[in-house]
């Protein structure tokens, strides 16, 4: 008689149990990694769309400076968005419903006060056709000086999936800066830093992560989450 070999019921159950444990340990990490990649992809897409609009405006006005092109007040910014973008909504209430969530927090769970309930009177807001909500200050809203070079800029807030969660800075929501040359970056990554290496901290990578760490973003100059993504070539490594 031929003897047959196989697994006992106990062995099968043990094997299935091990597989289940491994899956339970690895699946949340894989899901989070996939979700983070999706956030960054949408962020990259939104930034590209905005910067393309700025380049078109600069070309139409035959200048290299958004201030010279007229982006100096809220009315002109709203007109710019209506002219160069197909928006789902113009979000005249700023960082409020129906375009944005009620509250935004940093990764550590602390409220991010610069954007919560901000009416964004220094610029304009909207929702892109891909569902990203954003607000732009005119690029003369802020002014800073380093190495005797004065730079103006405007704050930018992007929520890549609008009202959907988790509504956290550095996950689906990002705080950054618009410079008058039409580039989106962080507050210290000025045109002089990007073009000539005149950077606070000695390098553009250091300049982009000035202020509080990404996970603890809390103030008006905390752009580190966006800076880390740029430094890591559009990857969310934190």
With residue 151 as reference, give the H or E element that holds it: strand 149-159
The answer to whether residues 54 and 180 touch, using CB atoms and an 8 Å cutoff, is no
pLDDT grade for 19, boundaries at 50, 70 and 90: confident
- Residues 208-228 have a mean pLDDT of 94
Q: What does the mean pLDDT of the chain come to?
A: 92
> Between 151 and 9, whose confidence is greater?
151
Please, which residues bridge with residue 174 across strands?
158
Strand partners, 74: none
pTM given for the model:
0.88
- 86 vs 79: CA distance, rounded Å: 12
**Closest by Cα among 73, 116, 71 to 94:** 116
Is pLDDT above 80 for 29? no
Does the pLDDT of residue 24 top 80, yes or no? Answer: no
Checking if the pLDDT of 8 tops 80, the result is no
Q: Distances in Å between the alpha carbon of 156 and those of 34, 45, 62?
A: 25, 15, 24
Could you tell me the two tokens for 96? 């409020």
| pLDDT value at residue 63 | 97
């Amino acid at each position: 008689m031929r003897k047959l070999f196989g697994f006992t019921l106990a062995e099968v159950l043990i094997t299935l149990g091990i597989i289940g444990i491994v899956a339970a340990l690895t699946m949340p990490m894989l899901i989070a990694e996939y979700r983070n990649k999706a956030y960054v992809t949408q962020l990259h897409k939104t930034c590209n769309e905005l910067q393309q609009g700025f380049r078109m405006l600069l070309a139409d006005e035959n200048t290299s400076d958004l201030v010279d092109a007229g982006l100096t007040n809220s009315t002109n910014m709203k007109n710019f968005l209506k002219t160069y973008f197909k928006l789902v909504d113009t979000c005249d209430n700023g960082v409020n419903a129906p375009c944005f969530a009620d509250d935004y927090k940093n990764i550590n769970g602390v409220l991010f006060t610069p954007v919560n309930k901000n009416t964004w009177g220094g610029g304009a807001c909207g929702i892109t056709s891909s569902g990203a909500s954003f607000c732009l200050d005119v690029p003369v809203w802020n002014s800073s000086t380093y190495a005797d070079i004065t730079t103006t800029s405007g704050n930018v807030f992007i929520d890549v999936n609008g009202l959907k969660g988790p509504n956290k800075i550095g996950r689906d929501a990002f705080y950054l800066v618009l410079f008058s040359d039409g580039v989106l970056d962080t507050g210290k990554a000025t045109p002089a830093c990007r073009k000539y290496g005149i950077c606070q901290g000695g390098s553009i990578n250091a300049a982009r992560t000035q202020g509080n760490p990404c996970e603890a973003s809390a103030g008006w100059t905390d752009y580190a989450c966006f800076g880390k993504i740029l430094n890591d070539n559009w990857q969310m490594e934190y």
